[in-house]
Amino acid sequence: MKGFLLSAAMLLVFFSAQSQSPETLMVRAFRQQKEHAWLEEYLSFLSVPNTATDTLGLKKNAALIMQMMTKRGINNVQLLYPATAGKAPSVYGEVMVPGATQTLIFYAHYDGQPVDSTQWAKGLKPFVPKLVKGALEKGAAMTAFPANLSNIDPDWRIYARGASDDKAGVMAILCAYEAISRSGLALHSNIKFFFEGEEEAGSAHLGEIFQQYKSLLRSDLWVICDGPVHQSGKKAVLFGARGDAHVEITVYGPARPLHSGHYGNWAPNPGLLLAKLLSSMKDENGKVTIKGFYDDTKPLTDAEKKALAAMPPVDAQMKEELKIVNEEMPGIALADAIMLPSLNINGMQSGNVGPKASNVIPVSASAVLDLRLVPGNDYKLQQQKVVNHVKDQGYHVTDEEPTDAERKIFPKIAKIKLSEGYNAQRTPLSLPVAQSVIAAVQSTTNEQVVAIPTMGGSLPLFLFDKYLNAVTITVPIANHDNNQHAENENIRLRNLWNGIESLAAVMLIPPPVK
């Protein structure tokens, strides 16, 4: 028995070594030499602010990316501005391979979510990237930039806005190309690069850019590098994303703030009105109670059902990690939950809490709702369902600050702002190129690669389909516990290194047999 066990273990080691391609080992060896230089470059990149309101910061990021591309020998590097002048251009570059019959284009975005510096941990600022010897939340300490030639622990993390979402994508794509070109590996495909600057602001000009630069952007596959790997830590390939749209609701109390003693019990309290309104949108089991909310949802395909069934279970691990006892919809697993449209309260506020709280009846209360969409949902229709629900609760709905005349007539008024948004998109798992990408990523790791029908998050993938008739497949690289979109965003270095290997492998996929 013992002998048999040993043999099985040896076989596994042999198989493991076998299962990582020679190309992966070459990319890895190159990366190991470059770690210090890449880390230094990445920290500089993360130091440039990239929020949607910081137009100058976004332009600086774009200029820096152009330098990073040119330095790596990428050609035809340029900024793509939409005709209507969006706030931040996309950055384009290409490497054309003589005789190539396939073109792959790699996408990431360099803009980041808004920041609230006061929420970040002590010693951290969103645009002063810091190295931490692990997860800060688990007590790991900050550390200085490592001296040259000293060891860089792959479990170290970089904390900064954009560290994982999605400057990591830009960095990993450029480093993957650098590793290939400098290791003497042969490309079989033309490689194009496309880095967006308005993704977190809703990609308002991406469609325009696609229309204007349609021929420049021609490709057989868009490889999207954004979002986290599977929560199990295994590499993932994703075939879709949920759509996204927002609804911002403000309800009103008295026209001026009132002393809560003199008027408490008499003047309507906007916080309570909002609480009742939000409360009416979901039942105790987390199910959205807005009329028709789930009605348009397309049923899953057999391939999607199969992929879902094959996904490693993560719910128990995630509950442990997030200190959650029950799911919002009790008994519905995470992988299944994200196959449904969702409604989430991103934020709500009325008056102040904490040291700034005062004894008032505030004048208003606001909430920002995030709607995620799946195939079949139309984002404008989904927003309209929320508006109708608010009306059904007895509210007069307006999209402007209510006038005095309105306030005199209507007991309950809601100002509702509907954001721009976009629908969900899914690429069929059955396409040959889908299988090629899974195989490429599988060639870099001993562990099972997880094929996921859709990410829970959103990317404007429908635009690629609509304007370019393009196929999109997502290869994410960030650790799942990256605090994406929130304070203390971070990336674990191991994920950056592994991501470079995944993306290099995808750059090397063979052209389809014609």
Among the listed residues 1, 84, 122, 266, the single contact to a second copy using CB under 8 A: 266
Please give the structure tokens belonging to residue 376: 């079949």
Residues 11-70 that bind a second copy (CB under 8 A): 53
Does the protein bind a second copy through residue 296 (CB under 8 A)? no
| Phi, psi dihedrals of residue 62, rounded to the nearest 5° | -60, -40
Among the listed residues 261, 292, 313, 428, the single contact to a second copy using CB under 8 A: 261
Does the protein bind a second copy through residue 353 (CB under 8 A)? yes
* Nearer to a second copy among residue 35 and residue 327 (C-beta): 327
Residues 421-450 that bind a second copy (CB under 8 A): none
* C-alpha distance from residue 110 to each of 168, 283, 292, 330, 503 (Å): 9, 38, 37, 37, 17
Rounded CA-CA distance 509/257 in Å is 63
The answer to whether the beta carbons of residues 451 and 436 sit under 8 Å apart is no
Q: Which value, in Å, is the radius of gyration of the alpha carbons in the chain?
A: 25
Question: What is the DSSP-derived secondary structure letter of residue 195?
Answer: E
Among the listed residues 109, 130, 282, 415, the single contact to a second copy using CB under 8 A: 282
Among the listed residues 278, 303, 308, 439, the single contact to a second copy using CB under 8 A: 278
Does the protein bind a second copy through residue 404 (CB under 8 A)? yes
Among the listed residues 173, 174, 209, 367, the single contact to a second copy using CB under 8 A: 367
* Nearer to a second copy among residue 16 and residue 359 (C-beta): 359
Rounded CA-CA distance 39/46 in Å is 10
The answer to whether the beta carbons of residues 388 and 381 sit under 8 Å apart is no
Number of residues counted as binding a second copy (CB under 8 A): 99
Site string for a second copy, 225-254 (x = CB under 8 A): --xx------------xx-x---x-----x
Among the listed residues 458, 472, 479, 502, the single contact to a second copy using CB under 8 A: 458
Does the protein bind a second copy through residue 323 (CB under 8 A)? yes
Please give the structure tokens belonging to residue 106: 């790699």
Among the listed residues 146, 257, 312, 511, the single contact to a second copy using CB under 8 A: 257
Region from 66-74, 322-330, 382-390, 437-445 binding a second copy, contact rule CB under 8 A: 322-330
Among the listed residues 360, 437, 438, 461, the single contact to a second copy using CB under 8 A: 360
| Phi, psi dihedrals of residue 270, rounded to the nearest 5° | -65, -30
Residues 191-230 that bind a second copy (CB under 8 A): 227-228
* Nearer to a second copy among residue 216 and residue 332 (C-beta): 332
Does the protein bind a second copy through residue 113 (CB under 8 A)? yes
Among the listed residues 216, 275, 418, 439, the single contact to a second copy using CB under 8 A: 275
* Nearer to a second copy among residue 76 and residue 346 (C-beta): 346
Does the protein bind a second copy through residue 324 (CB under 8 A)? yes
The CB-side HSE value for 223 (13 A sphere, CA atoms) comes to 33
* Nearer to a second copy among residue 176 and residue 288 (C-beta): 288
Does the protein bind a second copy through residue 152 (CB under 8 A)? no
Question: What is the DSSP-derived secondary structure letter of residue 303?
Answer: H
On the 0-12 / 13-18 / 19+ scale of CB atoms within 10 A, 296 is: middle
425 SS3 class: strand
Q: Comparing C-alpha atoms, which of 475, 389, 471, 405 is closest to residue 440?
A: 475
Does the protein bind a second copy through residue 366 (CB under 8 A)? yes
Among the listed residues 292, 313, 347, 510, the single contact to a second copy using CB under 8 A: 347
Residues 124-143 that bind a second copy (CB under 8 A): 137
Among the listed residues 355, 400, 469, 514, the single contact to a second copy using CB under 8 A: 355
Give the nearest distance from C-beta 424 to a second copy in angstroms: 11
What is the biggest distance separating any 2 CA atoms in the chain, rounded to whole angstroms? 88
Rounded CA-CA distance 193/213 in Å is 13
What is the secondary structure of 454-473 as a DSSP string?
-EEEE--HHHHHHHH---EE
Rounded CA-CA distance 213/219 in Å is 12
SS (H, E, C) 106-145: EEEECCECCCCHHHCCCCCECCECEEECCCHHHCCCEECC
* Nearer to a second copy among residue 10 and residue 255 (C-beta): 255
Amino acid identity, residue 127?
F
